[in-house]
Structure 1
Amino acid sequence: MSAIEASPAQQATVRMAARALGRAGLVHAYGHCSLRLNHDYLLVCAPMPPGLIQREAGVVVPIRGELPDGVLGEVRIHQQIYARRNDVGAVARSMPPSVMSLSTAGITPVPRHGPGTYFAPSAPLWDDVQLVRSTPQAEGVAETLGHARAVVMRGNGAVVVGATLEEAVAFTWFLEDAARVECAIRAMRLENASAMSAEDAARRATTAGRVIERMWDYLSAGDLELNSSHA
């Protein structure tokens, strides 16, 4: 039994984030998301297809220690990221289709349009196709992530972080949109299409003007708990 309980608002936010990822096609049968509760604990969504979550409670998990019974093995990745990154308040583990396609060739998208700039120069690649079910593997994914906003896992989706769950979900959508554009440009063989410069990408990667909030509003529109997370 954990030494802390998540509030109703925190539980609702995790459920909303899971459903938002599902509605956007960023997860399917597999995927999960979590919220940092404090220095020692996280709240992860129920171990079921994220888009099918209704009122099922998430599970409180220690950031350092064994996973509680029933918690998915890949939640070890969340633990390792929170343990290393005090700036991370939320983690989304997703299966974005275009990100997945590029990753099978060892490619992650470069910043060619606005959404891609949040991962400039490009998201790092965890170059291992195996499922992450052990602590050493999870440590490797977290170390590969480093200080980036996302790490792509070869043939196995992505892990995206944010200061909030709203941010992590929005950045997951941005990563997939960057991959969509990357796939399209490569398919059209537009050899003159270059990535943005580091300077341009840094200027464009802003969160001012409610960039995150508007994307969250879009992805969570019509959710069954739309007002619960702010109760």
Structure 2
Amino acid sequence: MARALGQNGLSGPFGHCSVRLDDERFLVCAPRPMALIRAGEPGTVVDIAGELPPDVLGEVRIHQQLYRRRPGVGAICRFISPQITALAALGKTPRARHGFGSYFATGVPMWTGAALIRNDAAAEQAAALMAEQPALFLNVNGAVTAAATPERAVALAYFLEDAARVELAALSAGLADTGPVLAGDVAAERATWNGRIAERVWEFLLRNDPEPLAF
């Protein structure tokens, strides 16, 4: 997950990702630039309820809150990508204007605080704002995606960055208010995981990865 995000322009020096281990614990990647995390480099096991281990980044609190509130979530990406950052700087989130955007047709909430989420109160509020949505914009600090599997969480990050690119293009063309959007049953039908959608994104992003791919 970390290398898929870090080595494909979805996150630079900052960001983190995690996978649920069971009802009480999750594994978060090492606190390093995700592109540089080596094959086999250990992460840290974190309790879903309780204090963070001393070597874990403070923002991992939002992972705790999402796993606690959403038992169906099996993986989380926290990343800072260029198109999302640019769109958020305008106070905007993407609309469902193309296939990738359809996965966010019900909306992408915007956390308006500019400070990093490094305390329990803020993490609780951000998780509550995200609710059951697949993604959350963190103002000018990137975004979060959450899904049932690592492949889907990473695919959502890839889709969200592209949805931000398309939204910026609509704004640049002056057509953001009049251009068509996907909605309702049309968007729901398009936002499918059938046909190895997430797995193909995973394979593409990890095309040169040293570890063997497994599903």
Whether the TM-score (by the shorter chain) exceeds 0.5 is yes
Shift of 1:97: 1.1
Task: Read off the aligned partner of 1:83 and give its amino acid letter.
Answer: R
- 1:52 equivalenced with 2:40 (yes/no): no
Shift of 1:192: 3.8
Aligned twin of 1:206: 192
Shift of 1:198: 2.0
Q: Structure 2 matches for 1:143-162, cutoff 5 A?
A: 143-162=128-147
Q: Structure 2 matches for 1:62-211, cutoff 5 A?
A: 62-190=47-175, 192-211=178-197
C-alpha separation in 1, matches of 2:178 and 2:116 = 37
Aligned twin of 2:3: 19
C-alpha separation in 2, matches of 1:209 and 1:46 = 32
Aligned twin of 1:36: 20
Q: What per-residue deviation string (whole Å, max 9, x for no partner) do you get for residues 179-214 of structure 1?
A: 000001111123541211222111111111111111
Aligned structure 1 segments of 4 or more residues deviating by more than 6 angstroms: none
Task: Read off the aligned partner of 2:168 and give its amino acid letter.
Answer: C
Question: Partner of 1:155: helix, strand, or coil?
Answer: helix
Task: Read off the aligned partner of 1:195 and give its amino acid letter.
Answer: V
Q: What per-residue deviation string (whole Å, max 9, x for no partner) do you get for residues 80-118 of structure 1?
A: 000000010000001021111111222110000001111
Shift of 1:142: 0.5
Question: Partner of 1:160: helix, strand, or coil?
Answer: strand
The number of equivalent residue pairs is: 213
C-alpha separation in 2, matches of 1:213 and 1:36 = 18
Aligned twin of 1:9: none
Long gaps (5+) in structure 2: none
C-alpha separation in 2, matches of 1:166 and 1:158 = 17
C-alpha separation in 2, matches of 1:175 and 1:167 = 12
C-alpha separation in 2, matches of 1:189 and 1:119 = 22
Identity %: 47
Deviates more, 1:181-190 or 1:140-149: 181-190
Pick from 206, 209, 213 the counterpart of residue 220 of structure 1.
206
C-alpha separation in 1, matches of 2:91 and 2:179 = 20
Task: Read off the aligned partner of 1:167 and give its amino acid letter.
Answer: R
C-alpha separation in 1, matches of 2:162 and 2:110 = 17
